[in-house]
Amino acid sequence: MGKVYLVASGKGGTGKSMFAVNFGATLAKQGKSVVILDMDLGMRNLDLYFGLENNVVYDVHDVLKGVCRIKQALIRDKRFERLYVMAASPSRDDGTLTPLHMQVLCAKLKCAYDYVIIDAPSGIDDGLVLSSAGADACIIVTTPEYSALRDADTLDRALLELGIKERCFVLNKVIAEMMSAGYAPRLRDVTAMLQIPLAGVIQSDENIVISTNLGVPIVLKEGTYIQENFNKITERILAL
C-alpha cells in the first residue's frame, strides 16, 4: 500500500511545486513508483517544471469527473523508471469536485504506486480541503519570513482540523548571510514558531530557478549539494 503526501503552504511562491517535483524525482531515482498530482487547479505549473507541458491530454479534473481513466491522465517522465505526472486543469474548479472524489482517486493510486505526491494550492480555503482529502501526511513548505511562518502555522492548524496528523515542514529559499546578520528569522526562531518537525533546509539558489525554467528537476544533476540535500530531506520525511 502506498502513501499520499500533500505538499502545501500558507503563502504562494514558497516553493511547493519545486519541492514536489524534486521530492518525487528523488524517490523515483531510488526505484520507487511515484505519481505527482497537480492540484493547483487553474494555476498549473508541475507539467512545466518537468518539461512535460506538450504531453498533457487529460488532467486531474477529467479523471475526477470520470471523463477519462486514471491511466490516460498519467504522463510518464521517461527520464525515470516509474514517475508519472497528472496535470491540473487549466481552469479553476467549478465546484463540482468533492473531497470524496479525491479520496477515491488517492485510494486507487495508493494501491498501484508507492508514493503519491499532491502539489496543493496555497492557502487554507476550499482548494486545501479538496487537495488534502486523500492525504496521509503533509509537508509544509515555508520561507524564512515572519509572514510566511505565521501563515504556515495557520495552515498547520487547519491541517490538524482536517485530520492530517503527520505533518512536517521544509524551510526553503534560505539565505544564510541574512539569517546570521539578523535580517531574517534564525533557525531557532523558525522552529519555535512551528509545532511540527523540521524535515530540512533548502538554500536560495539560482540553479533552482534555472531548473524550473528549463523543465529539468534539479536532482537529476548528479553530484551536487542540492541532490545530496534532497536525499537527506527525503530520508527524514520517510522516517517521520
Instruction: Give which of 59, 6, 12, 15 is closest to 174, Cα–Cα.
Output: 15
**Choice from 12, 31, 90, 197 touching ligand ADP (CB under 6 A):** 12
208 touches, from Mg ion, ligand ADP, none (C-beta below 5 to 8 Å by class): ligand ADP
Find the helix or strand (DSSP H, E) in which 75 lies.
Answer: strand 75-76
Q: Tell me: does residue 212 bind ligand ADP (CB under 6 A).
A: yes
d(CA 60, CA 140): 22
Lookup: cell for 80: 525515470
- Measured between alpha carbons, how far is 146 from 12 in angstroms, rounded to an integer? 14
Binding mask 39-78 for Mg ion (x = CB under 5 A): -x----x---------------------------------
Judged by CB under 5 A, the stretch of 8-16, 95-103, 107-115, 207-215 that binds Mg ion is 8-16
Measured in Å, how far apart are the chain's first and last C-alpha atoms?
A: 17
Distance CA 156, CA 214 (A): 32
Residue 200 forms beta bridges with which residues? 170
C-alpha cell at 142: 515555508
* 17 lies in the binding site for ligand ADP (CB under 6 A): yes
Residues 33-52 interacting with ligand ADP (rule: CB under 6 A): 45
Quick one: cell of 134?
A: 486523500
- Nearest-approach distance from CB 39 to Mg ion, in angstroms: 10
Taking phi over 0 as left and psi of -120 to 50 as alpha, with beta for the rest, 173 belongs to: left
Helix (H, G, I), strand (E, B) or coil at 21: helix
- The residue whose Cβ lies closest to Mg ion is 17
Q: Which stretch binds ligand ADP (CB under 6 A): 14-22, 81-89, 123-131, 215-223?
A: 14-22
Range 166-205, binding ligand ADP (CB under 6 A) = 172-173, 202, 204-205
Q: Which does 131 bind (CB under 5 to 8 A by kind): ligand ADP, Mg ion, none?
A: none
Residues lying near ligand ADP in the complex (CB under 6 A) are found at 9, 12-18, 45, 172-173, 202, 204-205, 208-209, 212
Residues lying near Mg ion in the complex (CB under 5 A) are found at 16-17, 40, 45
